[in-house]
Amino acid sequence: MTASPIDTYATEVRQFRQILLWPLQLIPASPLEPGQQPWEALTRLATPWREVPDAFAGDPSTFPERHYAEFVTFLPYVQRFLYGEAPHRKTGYGESPITVFSRDDIARARVTLDPGSPPIDLEVTRAQLYFFVDIEVVIPVLEVTAQDLDLTTAEDLLFRFGRAYPASWQADGQGSRCPAQVEWIGRTGEVLARSDYDDRARYLGTVAHSRLAAIASHWVWFLLPLLPEHSEVTADLRYRQLEYYRMPIMGYLSFDDPGALHRADFIRLAVGGPSPAYSLPFSSATLARFEEDFCYDRFWAPAEPHEWANTRFICTGHTFLVIGEHGSGFFTDAETGVQGQFERQYFVLGLLAHFHKAALLMLSDRLVVALSRLDLRNVESIKKFKRTIRRAMATFLGFTHRYWFHEISTQDQARELFLLWRKHLDTDRLFAEVREEIQDMNEYLNSDSLRRQANTVVRLTVVTTLGLIGTIATGILGMNIFASADQPWHLRVLLFILVLIPTLLLTFYTVSRSRKLADFLERLSEGHR
């Protein structure tokens, strides 16, 4: 059957952009000293990663307007967090706690979705690592772009490209819900690394041996010199998964006429991946509240004659999509339009939202590890547990006051999208849970400290009580029963030593038996009750 004009018109994505945000927990080779940061290891090694210079450090006369538009989107305390303080200002905040590394050796991502299908070349426009002061979290970011893709291919790329490892395998050996192959292509056309989703034995063997999921080989290469937790190679920094193996994504798609898209198209782009035309990926009952729960339709009114009327935002927490009209300057302008905002302001919203969740998951994991290593029969284990919990409490306090924001902007759109993002990521509930866990740990440490202090007081009370006998006895001795004051000095020293040694032994013995003696005194005092 020949497609109708409206079908053909709607199914071509004129401009396609996809950003992967992959929150990971960092595992340093040894505990970091105060003031030491995990990314410092990158600066000591020969790697393609280079620290990104401060965008505000250049000539003020050439400062881009797009950076200005990004800056003024946020409230002042968020501005200080994102961009830091100017060097000549001395208010005490200092530099931004965010450090970014970038690499430029990857020109394209060549993606083969299915065996035998033609590969799709995606231009790599951003490959970065985001680190945060005093938080053992790194967020790798990869942005790819393409033009003139059919809708099914775009859906497939959004659904399958950002996979850390396969969930299962198909009958032909290909990884389920993964591309058949992904290759990183260098600047001169050489293949830098390729995926191994079909290496079923490797993934099964890693889980069986390490009880950890193996990371696909092209992502392992992308993050070098950082290595996955399961790797047996020595490394200064390792990382582990914090969330689902499907990486969070942001997508920008322009159509000639977005209003011609079917409801099922929006749903498949956001949550389901490709499926037969106009069919839903899940039951209609499950998706009955899709628009109400996930669509931000401030600029979505296809029947109205406005330039902005064909722009729709979709946020599920895991997925953030911006869909609009290709011929509209409101949507496609790279400086002041939605495209520019997607690459900067909306990207920052997503970075913050996913960083908040990743940091809280990292802190929760740290508490679980500390508890699992606690041995109440081992004094050193108890001391180490206390040190770990105190560090976690200090980290949580720093996170709360430096990174945790509810309101980031007074601009309605940025504020409402950020709140929608947080709602679907459920970070408020997670924050409350971690705070409660921290408070429980703190109460335990405080009660344990009070218990130890009370125990010490009891022991000292017992020693004092028994020492009273010795004090009376020595007081009697001081009544000139033994006139030793006129004896030669060496005899007085000898007499002092003869008294001191038994007294010390008696005191130490009393302390060692103070618990039993305290119980005896307690029974004695309560004997007539």
Region 320-329 average pLDDT: 93
> Which residue has better confidence, 10 or 64?
64
Mean of the per-residue pLDDT values for the chain? 84
Residues 492-517 pLDDT 10s:
677 767 766 777 677 667 666 666 66
The radius of gyration of the chain's CA atoms, rounded to the nearest angstrom, is: 33
Region 114-121 average pLDDT: 93
519, pLDDT greater than 70: no
Report which residue type is found at 13. V
4, pLDDT greater than 50: no
pLDDT-wise least confident of 41-50, 183-192, 375-384: 375-384
Amino acid 382: pLDDT: 77
Sign of CA dihedral 86, 88, 92, 94: positive
Q: What confidence category does residue 428 fall into, taking pLDDT thresholds of 50, 70 and 90?
A: very high
Among all chains, which residue has been given the structure tokens 């497939």? 156
Paired tokens of 296? 């931000």
Amino acid 35: pLDDT: 65
1, pLDDT greater than 50: no
419, pLDDT greater than 90: yes
Q: What confidence category does residue 372 fall into, taking pLDDT thresholds of 50, 70 and 90?
A: confident
pLDDT-wise least confident of 207-211, 294-298, 455-459: 455-459
184, pLDDT greater than 70: yes
Region 177-186 average pLDDT: 95
pLDDT-wise least confident of 116-130, 185-199, 462-476, 499-513: 462-476
Amino acid 6: pLDDT: 40
Report which residue type is found at 473. A
Percent of the residues in the chain that have a pLDDT greater than 70, as a whole number: 82
Paired tokens of 148? 């003139």
C-alpha count within 13 angstroms, C-beta hemisphere, residue 443:
6
Percent of the residues in the chain that have a pLDDT greater than 90, as a whole number: 43
Q: What confidence category does residue 142 fall into, taking pLDDT thresholds of 50, 70 and 90?
A: very high
274, pLDDT greater than 70: no
Q: What confidence category does residue 7 fall into, taking pLDDT thresholds of 50, 70 and 90?
A: very low
Q: Nearest CA to 356 among 424, 415, 294?
A: 424
For residues 83 and 383, give the distance between their C-alpha atoms in angstroms, rounded to a whole number. Answer: 39
Report which residue type is found at 191. V
Amino acid 59: pLDDT: 74
9, pLDDT greater than 60: no
> Which residue has better confidence, 164 or 511?
164
For residues 315 and 419, give the distance between their C-alpha atoms in angstroms, rounded to a whole number. Answer: 10
Residues 212-261 pLDDT 10s:
899 999 999 999 999 998 888 888 888 999 988 899 999 999 999 998 89
Residue 487 zone, left/alpha/beta (φ > 0; ψ -120 to 50; rest): beta
Region 78-86 average pLDDT: 86
Q: What confidence category does residue 19 fall into, taking pLDDT thresholds of 50, 70 and 90?
A: very high
Let me know: does 207 contact 214? Beta carbons within 8 Å: yes
Amino acid 454: pLDDT: 66
483, pLDDT greater than 70: no
